Amino acid sequence: MTAMLANIANQTEPWRFLVVDDEPDLVEVVCGALRHEGWDAVGAHDGREAVSAAATYQPDAVVLDMMLPDMDGMEVMRRIHTSRPEVRVLFLTARDAVEDRIAGIAAGGDDYVAKPFSLDEVVVRLRSLVRRSARGRAGRVASPDCLVVGDLVLDEAAREVTRGGEPIELSPKEFALLWFLMRHPRQVLSKSQILSEVWSYDYGGQAHVVELYISYLRKKIDAGRPAMIHTVRGAGYVIKAAAP
């Protein structure tokens, strides 16, 4: 019965992730962000737990801290791969980790992000990791990664934005912010939500920067044309196709 349900559900079931870090709060925060994307996520807090969770939970990918109390991250990956080599790994590393060793990992199909990271960044990497993965999921077309809202197009791979065909230059933060907005079109996003997803998860600053960057974006994207980025007073911001 249980097996049957699992099989049926497999057609449309969301991606599954295992998040491993020795800091429980971080695990919770990341799991939360992944669930917010509509994915499933569970946590583990050391290497042993991670290996056994990977066996029972069967995740599509693992978010794995390099530094664990009982085991090196690489070692954990190796053990998981002995039984399920198709599992992808996204490493979390300290900013000052040995860079070339990490680069080797990235080349092998897996990836890494340096702490402190923004939740948005983790979501990005996992998306592309799983998309690249051999496991072809039903209903997912390998289309070039373009977000489209009205006449606004964001090409993820080319890091290019155009409105009505005209190219628009954006700074990294502007790009990240626009991307987050375009991933949730016609949906009001609060400033704190934007702050914690687009800025680093431990960012201590004010929600004021969001207003500022929204204003930058408006200058570049809405400049003259019908507005796409709207303020919802007391709630947040929305992006949607300009009214006809």
Partner DNA sequence: GCCCTACCTTTGAGTTTCCTCAGAATCGCG
Partner DNA sequence: CGCGATTCTGAGGAAACTCAAAGGTAGGGC
Distance CA 107, CA 102 (A): 9
Question: What ranges in 10-150 are assigned the alpha helix state H?
Answer: 24-36, 47-57, 73-83, 99-107, 119-132
Closest CA to 171 of 180, 181, 185, 161: 161
Q: Is 212 in the site for DNA (CB under 7 A)?
A: yes
Q: Is 220 in the site for DNA (CB under 7 A)?
A: no
The least CB distance from residue 176 to DNA, in Å, is 7
Q: Is 29 in the site for a copy of itself (CB under 8 A)?
A: yes
Distance CA 195, CA 236 (A): 11
Residue 229, token pair as written in the block: 């980025």
Q: Is 235 in the site for DNA (CB under 7 A)?
A: yes
Q: Is 218 in the site for DNA (CB under 7 A)?
A: yes
State which residue, 22 or 28, has the beta carbon closest to a copy of itself.
Answer: 28
The least CB distance from residue 199 to DNA, in Å, is 6
Per-residue contact flags (x/-) with a copy of itself for residues 135 to 174, judged by CB under 8 A = xxxxxx---x----------x-xxxx----------xx--
Closest CA to 43 of 67, 26, 60: 26
The least CB distance from residue 209 to DNA, in Å, is 5
Q: Taking a C-beta distance cutoff of 8 angstroms, is the pair 122, 33 a contact? A: yes
The least CB distance from residue 65 to a copy of itself, in Å, is 17
Q: Is 173 in the site for DNA (CB under 7 A)?
A: yes
Q: Is 208 in the site for DNA (CB under 7 A)?
A: yes
Partner touching 214 among a copy of itself, DNA, none, CB below 5 to 8 Å by kind = DNA
Closest CA to 93 of 108, 72, 123: 72
